[in-house]
Amino acid sequence: MTDLNTAPNLTDADGFYEALIAAHEGLTPEQSTALNARLILLLANHVGDRDILLDALRKARGTGR
């Protein structure tokens, strides 16, 4: 298996971030949470590898540190 890639990998980091925030524009907090859930599931499927996903879950759960 490959490891979770935590090195910079976004081709246009600022542009992506802007699009991410814009996707939430006008949504209620509940709608935003639902959007995030759908987004995570879409990306998880793209990643596919179970170990990588579990590693990402661990890192996200650990408040980043």
Partner 1 sequence: MADIFEQALYPYRRSPDQDAAAPARHPVIVVGAGPVGLAAALDLALKDVPVLLLDDNDRVSTGSRAICFAKRTLEIMDRLGCGQPLVDKGVTWNKGKVFFDERKVYEFDLLAEAGHRRPAFINLQQFHFEAVLLERLRELQAEGRPVEIRGRNKVTGVTRDDSGIQLTVETPDGPYTLEADWLVACDGAKSPIRSFMGLDFHGRIFEDNFLIADVKMEADFPTERWFWFDPPFNRGQSALLHKQPDGVWRIDLQLGWDIDREVEMREENVIPRLKAMLGEEAKFSLEWISIYTFQCRRMERFAHGRVLFAGDSAHQVSPFGARGANSGIQDADNLAWKLKLILDGTAPESLMESYNRERVQAADENILNSTRSTDFITPKSDISHVFRDAVLDLAEAHPFARPLVNSGRLSVPATHAGSDLNGEDALPGGPERTRPGAPAVDAPVGDGWLLESLGTDIVLLGINTSLPDMSGGDTLPVTVLTIETEDDRLGALRERYLGRNEQAVYLIRPDQHIAARWPTYDRKAISAALTAATGGMS
Among 2, 3, 8, 48, binds partner 1 (CB under 8 A): 8
Report which DSSP code applies to 7: S
CA dist., res. 48 & res. 34, Å (int): 21
From the CA atom positions of the chain, what is the Rg in Å?
Answer: 14
Residue 45 touches partner 1, criterion: CB under 8 A: no
| Shortest Cβ 9–partner 1 spacing (Å) | 6
Residue 65 touches partner 1, criterion: CB under 8 A: yes
CA dist., res. 49 & res. 65, Å (int): 23
Chain contacts with partner 1 (rule: CB under 8 A): 5-10, 13-14, 17-18, 20-21, 24-25, 27, 29, 32, 36, 59, 63-65
